[in-house]
Amino acid sequence: MTHTAASTTTERVLGSYGTHGTGRPLLIVVGGIHGNEPGGVLAAQEVLGSLAARRPPIAGRVVFLSGNRQALEARTRFLEVDLNRIWSPDRIEALRTRSAEDDHAEERELRELLSEIERELAAAGGRVVFLDLHSTSAAGAPFAIIGDTLANRAIAFVLGIPVILGLEENVGGTLLEYFGSLGHVAVGFEGGQHEAPTTRTHDEAAIWITLVSAGLMQAVDVPDHAGHVARLARAGQDLPRVVEILHRHGISPEDDFRMHPGYVNFQPVEEGELLAHAEPGHREVRAPRDGMILMPLYQAKGRDGFFLARTVRPFWLALSALLRRAGLDSLFSHLPGLHRRAGAAGVLEVDARIARFFTVQIFHLLGYRRCEAEGNRMVFTRRVEGLARR
């Protein structure tokens, strides 16, 4: 067994523990993809210190990486562009084909981080799990974010906090989306408000619990495993198990968006409620519908003013899992006006005239959560079920 200690500075590789091997899982933990979110890096260093001191048995390998090193040092969300909005396949492929001399700050960060991750993936002998640690500018309970696959659910639900579905429909180019599209398990964890002392402890709990749920460690070998589970359970107490995003309020720099103070994650809001003001003209920004508010923006940088979400009833979660395991979506290609896109797994093309007979909720049940209009067709996309294995 090998391990390396965490650095006192913001190194790219904060540390690692365990070894690769046939059938042995790999957990990749990334903290600080936004530079004003240091909790994940601090939590990684705490866990690494404990692993190095205790040397517990581990049936795989965990590696801890920092995200935007320059922004972390500057204590700002990003320097030039949001590092967590540029992980599109096209952009990554363009970077591979051009000189690094032309990169801006965040492109250099992406190159370095991607290189470290791909080095680990090349050596992996079993399934791979990504845990992407974040925090929010608003206060409130921690929560998880996933692309809606059964494999992602299996890891996220164990955390005992609310799980958010549908964010990928509204926000593109994230690290989580990129590696999820490769077939790996990918879970985002929002530990709490940026500066709150509980954020780091929530992040630590998420790391330890995921080490167990991903199959790397036994609960008895985790220091205070029961305490970590109880900590997140208390944080998520009285909140819905799963919610789905219904609305994103996007903003631009010219808006000078000002969220009204006091909103916290999962706070109920009513249609028409005054939430913020924006320029020009000190425009009122009101809730377009009832829902729970998520990630209201209380920081200078960002393009997401807030999200609105609603509870997903347990019945629909259970039904969707049953339908997927039964392979019901295989029948879609036999229905009039619906067919699979050639050479593109997880993509359905639907005649818009036919689509009106199918509710979006039906597609959501089967994991097709991204919907885009292309002429007279609706294109539904979902994460491909299953794990990428060596």
Element (H, E) at 211: helix 197-213
Say if CB 333 and CB 305 are below 8 A apart.
no
> What is the pLDDT averaged over residues 143-171?
93
Pairing mode of beta strands 242-250, 163-165: parallel
pLDDT grade for 381, boundaries at 50, 70 and 90: confident
Residue 98 has pLDDT above 80, yes or no: yes
pLDDT of residue 10: 81
What percent of the chain stands above pLDDT 70? Answer: 90
Domain boundaries, the chain: 3-235, 242-311, 325-382
pLDDT, tens only, 316-337: 889 888 888 887 767 666 666 6
Check residue 384 and give its pLDDT.
Answer: 65
375 Cβ neighbours under 8 A, 6+ residues apart: none
Q: Where are the beta strands (DSSP E) in the chain?
A: 3-4, 13-18, 26-31, 61-66, 128-136, 143-146, 163-165, 185-193, 242-250, 258-259, 267-269, 274-278, 283-286, 291-294, 304-311, 338-340, 347-351, 368-374, 377-382
Q: Cis link prior to 280 (omega < 30° from 0)? A: yes
Tens digits of residue pLDDT in 332-351: 666 666 777 776 667 877 77
Say whether pLDDT at 296 is over 90: yes
Read off the pTM. Answer: 0.89
The tokens 């909103």 sit on which residue? Answer: 263
What pLDDT does 351 receive? 75
Can you spell out the DSSP letters for 182-193?
A: TT-EEEEEEEEE
Q: Quote the tokens at residue 95.
A: 């970077």
Question: Is residue 390 over pLDDT 50?
Answer: no
Q: For position 320, what pLDDT does the model report? A: 85
Average pLDDT rounded to a whole number, residues 295-303: 96
List of residues 6+ apart from 158 with CB closer than 8 A: 209, 210, 213
Q: Can you give the pLDDT at residue 386?
A: 57
> What letters, b where the CB count within 10 A reaches 16 and e where it falls short, cover 170-187?
bbebbbbbbbbbebbbbb
pLDDT given at position 263 = 98
Overall fold of domain 242-311: OB fold (Dihydrolipoamide Acetyltransferase, E2P) (2.40.50)
pLDDT value, residue 160: 97
Question: What is the percent of the chain with per-residue pLDDT over 90, rounded to a whole number?
Answer: 73
Q: How many CB atoms lie within 10 A of CB 355?
A: 20
Round to whole Å and give the CA distance between 349 and 100: 38
Q: Largest alpha-carbon pair distance within the chain?
A: 63
> Residue 230 phi/psi, 5° resolution?
-65, -35
**For position 388, what pLDDT does the model report?**
43
Which helix (H) or strand (E) is 111 found in, with range? helix 105-123
Q: Would you give the DSSP letter of residue 117?
A: H
For residue 92, what pLDDT band results from cuts at 50, 70 and 90? very high
Query: Is the per-residue pLDDT at 267 higher than 60?
Result: yes
Which position has the token pair 């990918």? 186
Residue-level pLDDT at 167? 87
**Helix or strand holding residue 231 (H, E):** helix 225-235
The arrangement of secondary structure in 3-235, i.e. its CATH architecture, is 3-Layer(aba) Sandwich (3.40)
More confident: 333 or 270:
270
Q: CA–CA separation, 156 vs 166, rounded Å?
A: 14
pLDDT band, very low/low/confident/very high, at 4 (cuts 50, 70, 90): very low
Please give the backbone phi and psi of residue 334, each rounded to the nearest 5 degrees, phi first: -95, -5
Confidence bin at 204 (pLDDT 50/70/90) = very high
Alpha-carbon gap, residue 257 to 278, rounded angstroms: 5
| Mean pLDDT calculated for residue range 132-159 | 96
Average pLDDT (151-176) is: 92
pLDDT tens by residue, 99-135 = 999 999 999 999 999 999 999 999 999 999 999 999 9
Predicted confidence (pLDDT) per residue in 37-79, tens digit: 999 999 999 999 999 999 999 999 999 999 999 999 999 999 9
Residues 63-83 as b/e (b if ≥16 CB within 10 A, e otherwise) read bbbbbbbbbbeeebbbbeebb
The 10s digit of each residue's pLDDT in 206-246 is: 999 999 999 999 999 999 999 999 999 999 999 999 999 99
